[in-house]
């Protein structure tokens, strides 16, 4: 399975710890830190069977740059997993990315998250929350998540990718000709029925 993880980890590098551990265990996984991309730079991810988005949660959401990039790069039929670190868990985290994926007709196949050290706002005054997180176990938890994901979905995602590639190639070789041709076809059908 060819995987790329796009990530943003701007607070304490908590999310990056999870991403780095996955790459250490799976050197074949590519990563893109969206902080290194130019404002109008959108990588071509069409050769990947699977796309991961990983981010800290900032004001209840994925990083804004990561969301913008997701909005530009996702294609219909893409298979996606999400990874987050947060100060305090909420079932709402990830809904913003799910909405983007849905509009692009991409599917979110799995989500993983854990607590990350948080010194945002008032928490700074008390020395931060979640000190020491992600722990070694939580970092290993992210690797286990990816292992399980690849074991359970790897073959399926590769098959789905190949099916889509075949369909796109067929469509490219057999252009439908646009709206006018559709109207002509419909008119012929109606005429034929009479
Ligand atoms: C500006 C800012 C806003 C944050 N907002 C939230 C939030 O709404 N909910 C939450 O659970 N954690 C929040 N956090 C905590 C981060 O999600 C947490 O520390 C995360 O692990 C940061 O990941 P990173 O080090 O990879 O950037 C916020 C942190 C910052 C800096």
**Average pLDDT for residues 132-150, to the nearest whole number?**
97
- Encoding tokens for residue 165? 């590639």
| Atom of ligand 1 minimally distant from the CA of 88 | 11
| Atom of ligand 1 minimally distant from the CA of 59 | 8
- pLDDT tens-digit map of 9-50: 999 999 999 999 999 999 999 999 999 999 899 999 999 999
| Atom of ligand 1 minimally distant from the CA of 90 | 11
| Atom of ligand 1 minimally distant from the CA of 57 | 17
**Span from the CA of 123 to the centroid of ligand 1 (angstroms):** 11
Cβ(93) – ligand 1 distance below 6 Å: no
Confidence (pTM): 0.92
**Span from the CA of 192 to the centroid of ligand 1 (angstroms):** 64
pLDDT of residue 125: 81
Cβ(61) – ligand 1 distance below 6 Å: no
Cβ(3) – ligand 1 distance below 6 Å: no
- pLDDT tens-digit map of 90-140: 999 999 999 999 999 999 999 999 999 999 988 888 888 999 999 999 999
Cβ(60) – ligand 1 distance below 6 Å: yes
Instruction: Evaluate whether 45 touches 32 at the Cβ level (below 8 Å).
Output: no
Non-local (6+) Cβ contacts of 100 within 8 A are 67, 70, 71, 74
Q: For residue 10, give the nearest of 54, 52, 44 by alpha carbon.
A: 54
């Amino acid at each position: 399975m060819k995987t790329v993880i796009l990530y943003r980890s701007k607070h304490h590098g908590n999310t990056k710890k999870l991403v780095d551990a996955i790459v250490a265990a799976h050197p074949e996984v590519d990563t893109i830190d969206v902080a290194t991309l130019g404002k109008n730079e959108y990588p071509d991810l069409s050769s990947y069977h699977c796309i991961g988005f990983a981010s800290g949660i900032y004001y209840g959401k994925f990083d804004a740059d990561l969301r913008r990039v997701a909005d530009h790069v996702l294609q219909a039929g893409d298979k996606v997993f999400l990874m987050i670190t947060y100060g305090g868990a909420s079932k709402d985290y990830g809904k913003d990315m799910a909405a983007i994926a849905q509009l692009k007709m991409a599917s979110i196949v799995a989500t993983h998250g854990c607590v990350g050290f948080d010194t945002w706002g008032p928490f700074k005054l008390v020395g931060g929350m979640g000190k020491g997180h992600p722990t070694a176990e939580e970092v290993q938890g992210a690797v286990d998540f990816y292992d399980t994901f690849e074991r359970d979905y790897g073959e399926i995602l590769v098959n789905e990718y190949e099916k889509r590639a075949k369909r796109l190639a067929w469509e490219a070789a057999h252009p439908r000709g646009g709206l006018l041709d559709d109207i002509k076809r419909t008119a012929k059908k109606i005429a034929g029925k009479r």
